[in-house]
Amino acid sequence: MAPMSYVAVVDERVVGHVLLSATRLDAPRRIVDVLTLSPLGVVPEFQRQGIGTRLIAHALEAADRQGVPLVFLEGSPHYYSTRGFESAGAAGFRAPSLRIPEPAFQVARLSAHEPWMTGTFVYSETFWAFDCVGLRDPEA
């Protein structure tokens, strides 16, 4: 599955970006190709104008059109719960690392999702190679 990258442009200036990367779900029946939403960013002076919300909506719609069943992320439940995401743990998924705080592990179930698609979310090697999974102890 190819990554999907979208930008928000205001007056010919890129002010926001979202990336969906290929990842997998280790489900009981088989490995399922899914996506992770990371990163999402909006230039500070353009925040709180709905740009991030529109980028997320566009990314989820594009993933849905391609038949992707699930999109995972690590992020604020306060922000993402109003943008199509829910607690992944409560929905029957296991995080790939103990360093991911339970509330931050979230999923958007898209139209191709089927009830048997539960299991352990698995990041691609790039996330592990660059140590981008979960939180690190700042005292360590």
Provide the pLDDT for residue 12. 95
Average pLDDT over residues 93-106: 95
In a domain, 138, yes or no: no
In a domain, 136, yes or no: no
Provide the pLDDT for residue 133. 84
Provide the pLDDT for residue 140. 61
In a domain, 58, yes or no: yes
| Overall number of domains in the chain | 1
pLDDT tens sequence across 22-72 = 999 999 999 999 999 999 999 999 999 999 999 999 999 999 999 999 999
CATH code for the domain of 65: 3.40.630.30
The answer to pTM > 0.85 is yes
Burial class (CB in 10 A: 0-12, 13-18, 19+), 65: exposed
102 near 74, Cβ under 8 Å? no
Residue 105 clears pLDDT 70, i.e. is over it: yes
In a domain, 109, yes or no: yes
